[in-house]
């Protein structure tokens, strides 16, 4: 998960099938409601028809004539600090970035549609009348990089392996629990069967799973982390690496799918290289020195002040801001409600009132951000205004379990005067703590009726966040909370996060335009007790679980909006986090060696798989 003005969470969300920002959040694509059960479809989508016909040649956001060659050297969108494994599927260790380019799936995501996928390994799919099974028909020409064919047996093996909650990461395993099984009908046909009520998204969750080689994992233990390059069928394979320093992938000229419509004009670089640095400052200085070619800037101060350099003035380095129409998601200080001191929502609300966004944005972020209010920021799924009739109908059965404000305007964080000394907010925070039983003692510290001091530890791995954390802890101490920052290295940070061993952590997660079962890994009760899940706050609320089911059972986009709005109201009233900020755009800096299509994919950055090396620009830059 990537934070804006902070880049950790220790989780990578790009390795589940769809956008795979998310391959993780890409598991949201589903069937077209109007599709005939007997009809083989070249693609599948949720709530409507496909934008691309069966005979489409390429996606609209690519240049089909883009030249192949050159190198893209970057630090990656997550700015992860280290890696020690080439296995992105298991719970332990820290996988390298870019591994998604090694693995093909049955179908590939169209990044200009909310939730559509088109044939890759499978040329078509057939959905049963009752929507409780789907059959995929594989292309006989699909091959792994060692030349062996991709078969239905590999698809079944991949599903069974990634569904195993004891072995695979929760973001893979949990969404697959309602898939009853996968059967290889013949070497090129595989059938999945589903159970339960939330079957809407299951056909394309399985369509988006990476397909692994059974023969490879018969020889190499799936559970073993390590740096043995895996066998995949995708457009790239591991070339060179130095643990914790860089990893390089080379484009496969023999890639079996290079001429398919879903691949034409994509995967243009001969080499994709990801660099690793000990911190952001070192990474930025290395970029300025030409050690690598492209970075997305997540730190507002750096974007506003640190690119005023001769390389930019001369045009050797280009600065580009791209619109980001995908949901900006939820970034904030997530409060670990598994700990008793955070059980009272008034305490959690007080932590929100102690955070002064206006001062922070003005003084630390150069006014570049907007305040996040919702778990679905920058999205039509964000709740606004009083609950409408449809939302009221969904919420009414839970009225006795919900705060009255859920039915009015959704909770929004307080707005300070921006001075950094707004006593109104701190007074409101203090009052909430008093109500919750945390009184001020003779030392000026908050204590409960057992005499226990209210201590709070903010987990931090990146030194550049120190000013943000420091200002916040200053305000927490002003209301009597004994707050401290625990700055730890990347490896320890990730271990503690996966084990939920923290009080408060700053992270960001982003759900897709059409959330699927992966949403439960962020907010569901089962995920709250599953180590390594994305439910950092430990949200375990039967009302939330019921509304998650409503989101997953929506039959059209209107129903989806209604259910998401109701869910958003309940989550915001629960005060599970201190919401921070978003900006809804990509800030890119790169050495002028690249060109890109005229059209950007609406829901993706598009750099790694649609840009290309421009030989003329590169030659000019070398002069």
* pLDDT recorded at residue 64: 97
Give the integer Cα–Cα distance in Å for 549 and 111. 26
- Check residue 9 and give its pLDDT: 33
pLDDT above 70: residue 20: no
Over the stretch 209-248, which tens digit does the pLDDT of each residue have? 999 999 999 999 998 878 999 999 999 999 999 998 999 9
598 has a pLDDT exceeding 50:
yes
> According to the 3-state scheme, what is the secondary structure of 468-487?
HHHHHHHHHHHCCCEEEEEE
Percent of the chain with pLDDT over 70: 93
Report whether 184 contacts 151 (CB < 8 A): yes
User: Which pLDDT score, from 0 to 100, does residue 608 have?
Assistant: 95
Least confident of 306-310, 328-332, 335-339: 328-332
Mean pLDDT across the chain:
90
pLDDT at site 77: 64
Torsion of CA 201, 514, 335, 297, to 10 degrees: 130
| More reliable by pLDDT, 32 or 172 | 172
pLDDT bucket at 174, cuts 50 / 70 / 90: confident
pLDDT, tens only, 217-226 = 999 999 887 8
User: DSSP H helical segments within 341-488, as ranges?
Assistant: 345-353, 357-364, 389-395, 423-435, 466-478
Q: How many residues does this entry show for the chain?
A: 623
Render pLDDT for 156-165 as a digit per residue (tens, 0 to 9). 999 999 999 8
- Please name which of 141, 152, 135, 146 lies closest in space to residue 211, comparing C-alpha atoms: 152
Round to whole Å and give the CA distance between 17 and 103: 10
Ordered alpha helix ranges (H), 271-309: 280-288, 300-305
d(C-alpha 601, C-alpha 590), whole Å: 19
pLDDT surpassing 60 at residue 381: yes
Position 536 scores a pLDDT of 97
Q: Does position 7 have pLDDT exceeding 70, yes or no?
A: no
34 pLDDT exceeds 60?
Answer: no
List the chain domain ranges: 24-56+87-222, 330-582
Whole-angstrom distance, CA of residue 410 vs CA of residue 316? 47
The answer to whether the CB of 81 falls within 8 A of the CB of 7 is no
Asked whether residue 357 carries a pLDDT value surpassing 80, the answer given is: yes
The pTM of this model reads 0.78
For the chain, give the percent of residues with pLDDT over 90: 75
Model confidence at 518: pLDDT above 70: yes
- DSSP, res 399: G
Residue 45, pLDDT score = 83
Average pLDDT over residues 98-127: 96
Q: What is the CA radius of gyration of the chain?
A: 24
Measured in degrees and rounded to the nearest 5, phi and psi for residue 220 equal: -115, 130
Q: Are 70 and 590 in contact (CB under 8 A)?
A: no
Residues in contact with 280: Cβ distance below 8 Å, sequence separation at least 6, in sequence order:
7, 79, 299, 302, 462, 463, 464
Alpha carbons 9 and 504: distance in angstroms, whole number: 12
| Region 330-582: CATH code | 3.10.105.10
d(CA 405, CA 562): 17
Determine the pLDDT at residue 584: 83
Over 50: is that where the pLDDT of 420 sits? yes
CA gap 537, 526 in Å, rounded: 13
- Alpha helix locations (H) across 479-519? 490-498
Topology (CATH level 3) of domain 24-56+87-222? D-Maltodextrin-Binding Protein; domain 2 (3.40.190)
Instruction: With H, G, I as helix, E, B as strand and everything else as coil, classify residue 371.
Output: strand
**pLDDT tier at 5, thresholds 50, 70, 90:** low
């Amino acid at each position: 998960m990537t934070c804006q003005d902070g880049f950790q969470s220790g989780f990578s969300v790009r390795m589940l099938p769809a956008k795979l920002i998310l391959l993780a959040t890409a598991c949201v694509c589903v069937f077209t409601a109007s599709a005939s059960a007997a009809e083989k479809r070249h693609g599948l989508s949720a709530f409507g028809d496909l934008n691309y016909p069966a005979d489409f040649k390429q996606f609209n956001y690519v240049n089909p004539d883009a030249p192949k060659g050159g190198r893209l050297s970057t630090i990656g969108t997550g700015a992860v600090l280290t890696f020690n494994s080439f296995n992105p599927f298991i719970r332990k260790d820290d996988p390298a970035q870019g591994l998604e380019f090694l693995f093909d799936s049955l179908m590939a995501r169209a990044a200009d549609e909310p939730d559509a996928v088109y044939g890759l390994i499978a040329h078509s799919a057939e959905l049963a009348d009752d929507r409780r099974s789907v059959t995929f028909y594989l292309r006989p020409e699909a091959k792994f990089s060692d030349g062996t064919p991709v078969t239905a047996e590999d698809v079944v093996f991949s599903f069974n392996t990634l569904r195993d909650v004891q072995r695979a990461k929760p973001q893979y395993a949990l969404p697959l629990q309602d898939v009853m099984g996968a059967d290889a009908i013949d070497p090129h046909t595989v059938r999945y069967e589903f159970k339960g009520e939330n079957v809407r998204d299951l056909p394309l969750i399985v369509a988006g799973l990476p397909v692994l080689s059974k023969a490879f994992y018969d020889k190499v233990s799936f559970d073993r982390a390590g740096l043995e390059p895996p066998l995949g069928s995708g457009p790239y394979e591991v070339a060179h690496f130095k643990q914790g320093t860089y990893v390089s992938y080379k484009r496969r000229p023999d890639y079996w799918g290079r001429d398919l419509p879903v691949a034409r004009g994509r995967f243009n670089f001969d080499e994709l290289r990801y660099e690793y640095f000990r911190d952001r400052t070192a990474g930025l200085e290395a970029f300025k020195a030409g050690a690598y070619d492209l970075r997305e800037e997540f730190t507002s101060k750096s974007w506003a002040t640190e690119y005023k350099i001769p390389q930019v003035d001369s045009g050797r380095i280009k600065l580009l801001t791209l619109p980001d129409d995908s949901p900006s998601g939820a970034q904030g200080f997530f409060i670990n409600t598994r700990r008793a001191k955070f059980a009272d929502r008034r305490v959690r609300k007080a932590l929100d009132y102690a955070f002064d966004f206006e001062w922070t944005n003005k003084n630390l972020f150069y006014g570049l951000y907007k305040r996040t209010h919702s778990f679905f920021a920058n999205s039509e799924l964000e709740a606004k205004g009083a609950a409408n009739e449809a939302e009221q109908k969904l919420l009414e059965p839970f009225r006795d379990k919900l705060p009255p404000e859920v039915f009015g305007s959704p909770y929004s964080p307080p707005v300070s005067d921006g001075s950094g000394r707004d006593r109104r907010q701190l007074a409101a925070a203090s009052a909430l703590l008093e109500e919750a039983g945390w009184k001020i003692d003779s030392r000026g510290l908050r204590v409960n009726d057992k005499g226990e001091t209210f201590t709070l530890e903010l987990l931090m791995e990146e030194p550049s966040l120190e000013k943000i954390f420091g200002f916040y802890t200053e305000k927490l101490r002003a209301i009597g909370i004994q707050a401290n920052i625990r700055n730890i290295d990347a490896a320890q940070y990730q271990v503690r996060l996966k084990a939920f061993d923290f009080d408060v952590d700053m992270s960001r997660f982003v759900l897709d335009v059409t959330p699927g079962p992966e949403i439960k890994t962020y907010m569901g009760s089962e995920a709250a007790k599953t180590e390594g899940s994305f439910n950092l706050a430990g949200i375990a609320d039967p009302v939330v679980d019921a509304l998650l089911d409503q989101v997953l059972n929506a039959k059209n986009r209107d129903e989806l909006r209604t259910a998401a709005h109701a869910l958003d109201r309940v989550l915001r009233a629960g005060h599970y986090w201190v919401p921070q900020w978003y900006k809804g755009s990509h800030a890119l800096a790169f050495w002028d060696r690249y060109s890109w299509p005229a059209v950007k994919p609406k829901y993706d950055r598009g750099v790694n798989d649609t840009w290309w090396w421009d030989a003329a620009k590169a030659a000019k830059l070398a002069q």
